[in-house]
Amino acid sequence: MHPSIQQSLAATFVVMLLLSGWLYSSLDSFREGVSKQAKDTLKTTLDTTYRTLMDWRDMHMSETLTWASHPDIKDLTQGLLLSYQRDKEKMNNLQNKIDEELSPAVEKGLFSSYSILTAEGVCISSSQTRWLGLSMIKSERTTKLLSRVFDLGYVGFTVPEKGQLWGDHMLAIAPIYDDRGGVIAALAFGLNEGLSYSSISSRGQIGETGETYLFNADGQMLSTSKFMAQLKSIAVLNSDVLSNAGESKGLNIQIRDPGGDMTQSFVPKVNAEELPLTYMARSAVGGGHGSNLEGYNDYRGVPVVGVWLWDEVMEIGMTSEMDVSEAFASYDQYKQDMMTLFVIFSCLIVLLLVFVAKHKRQVTGFRVTG
């Protein structure tokens, strides 16, 4: 091979190597920028939605404590505890008086129900008469919460759990004190969390696929999924997933990784209860705040990116997620454009090399002939 052609090949190789290095660096830098932008957008969305939730939480905690501290509620509750199951007529009379005092809190729409509970969780007065005499504490989580209310004067929330009397609602619970400062009972207001959570989380919708939702420690969604129609079509939910009002029963949606994209006809080989929590849910339930911009499967099995947090007071998690395909759409387009330019430039270099080599052969042949 002619030395000049060898030099041209060497030069071409160096140029292609430098070009490849520049392309890799450019793509990596662009992806990093897109990843940072996606994280910033998701985090801003999550923080804003979480602040709204905190305002909602603090308002209900304050309101519940105010009602529980009302002198009339204190006096009536002390009388009710003394007469409970001893003097039925007096007990009914006191329950009616309590109802007169607390009904306005329910009627103005802030709460859906009220109940007064003993230290054992037995309901001794309630706007839901079918609850009277029943234990409203049926799980380890709510038992611990009630203990904190009576032992520490704690004001807190129960999370929606299957099998509870209050169903898809949650309870705001505050201590009722006697005149000596001891906790004698607990006031529990029911909150229509399905509507509240869904209303709050709906403010965290981003683009076509971005959504913000809440979930409990069991990996059950507490708000409405953005993909209800999609989920119903792939039979992720139970047949009764929609109520008469068209609101999703969030506890039917498990934040678990099916192992594949169910929107693309993937079918898990095991029951939903046997599937692991998603990467996000596992991290959040462990008490962590975190993010993942590399991609992980959501409850549909669709690769997403997301940020999340865990609220210790309410014992719920919140996340903002977006499909990887949408989050990195600009990067994918940029990569495609750059690869196209790289191929075109490479072809031009090869053509130039062929032209130079052909020209040198002609020149050499001319010299030999001459």
User: Residue 145's domain is classified under what CATH number?
Assistant: 3.30.450.20
Q: How many CA atoms lie within 13 A of 343 on its CB side?
A: 6
Q: How confident is the model at residue 250 (pLDDT cuts 50, 70, 90)?
A: low
pLDDT value, residue 40: 94
Q: Token pair of 106, please?
A: 């329910």
Could you tell me which of 116, 127, 120 has the C-alpha nearest to residue 72?
Answer: 116
CATH number at residue 299: 3.30.450
Q: What is the pLDDT of residue 294?
A: 94
**Residue 229 and residue 163 in one domain:** no
| Residue 221 and residue 307 share a domain | yes
Q: Are 250 and 170 in a shared domain?
A: no
* One domain, residues 101 and 139: yes
Q: Contact, 38 vs 316, CB < 8 A?
A: no
Q: Is there a domain that residue 266 lies in?
A: yes
For the stretch 141-157, pLDDT in tens is 888 889 999 999 999 88
How many angstroms separate the CA atoms of 217 and 194, rounded? 17
Domain total in the chain: 2
d(CA 130, CA 217): 29
Decide which of 193, 227, 258 is a domain's last residue.
193
47-80 burial: b if 16+ Cβ within 10 Å, else e: eebbeebeebbeebbebbbebbeeeebbebbbbb
Q: What is the mean pLDDT of the chain?
A: 83
Q: At what angle do helices 88-107 and 71-83 cross, to 10 degrees?
A: 150
Say which residue, 113 or 341, is predicted with more confidence: 113
Taking a C-beta distance cutoff of 8 angstroms, is the pair 361, 8 a contact?
A: no
- Judge whether 361 lies within some domain: no
Tokens of residue 130, six digits = 């079918």
Q: Looking at the structure, tell me whether residues 132 and 247 fall in a common domain.
A: no
Domain assignment present for residue 56? The answer is: no
Q: Are residues 218 and 323 in the same domain?
A: yes
For residue 355, being part of any structural domain is answered with no
* 12 domain residue, yes or no: no
Lowest mean pLDDT among 6-15, 195-204, 251-260, 343-352: 6-15
Domain coverage including residue 95: 69-193
Q: Which of 163, 193, 223 is the last residue of a domain?
A: 193
Kindly state the tokens that stand for 80: 């009710």
189 with 211, same domain? no
Q: Is 230 a domain residue? A: yes
In tens, the pLDDT along 153-177 reads 999 888 776 656 666 678 899 999 9
Same domain, 41 and 101: no
Give yes or no: residues 170 and 266 share one domain: no
> 267-271, 323-327, 348-352 — which one is most confidently predicted on average?
323-327
Residue that terminates a domain, selected from 158, 193, 228: 193
According to the 3-state scheme, what is the secondary structure of the chain? CCHHHHHHHHHHHHHHHHHHHHHHHHHHHHHHHHHHHHHHHHHHHHHHHHHHHHHHHHHHHHHHHHHHCCHHHHHHHHHHHHHCCCCHHHHHHHHHHHHHHHHHHHHCCCCCEEEEECCCCEEEEECCHHHCCCECCCCHHHHHHHHHHHHHCCCEECCCCCCCCCCCCEEEEEEEECCCCCEEEEEEEEECHHHHHHHHHHHHCECCCEEEEEEECCCEECCCCCCHHHHHHCCCCCCCCECCCCCECHHHCECECCCCCHHHCCCCCCCHHHCCECHHHHHHHCCCCEEEEEEEECCCCCEEEEEEEEECCCCEEEEEEEEHHHHCHHHHHHHHHHHHHHHHHHHHHHHHHHHHHHHHHHHHHHHHHC
pTM of the prediction?
A: 0.78
Residue 359 lies in a domain: no
The whole-number pLDDT of residue 362 equals 62
Please report which confidence band the pLDDT of residue 332 belongs to, taking 50, 70 and 90 as the band edges: confident
Residues 189 and 266 in one domain: no
In a domain? residue 285: yes
Q: Are 87 and 189 in the same domain?
A: yes
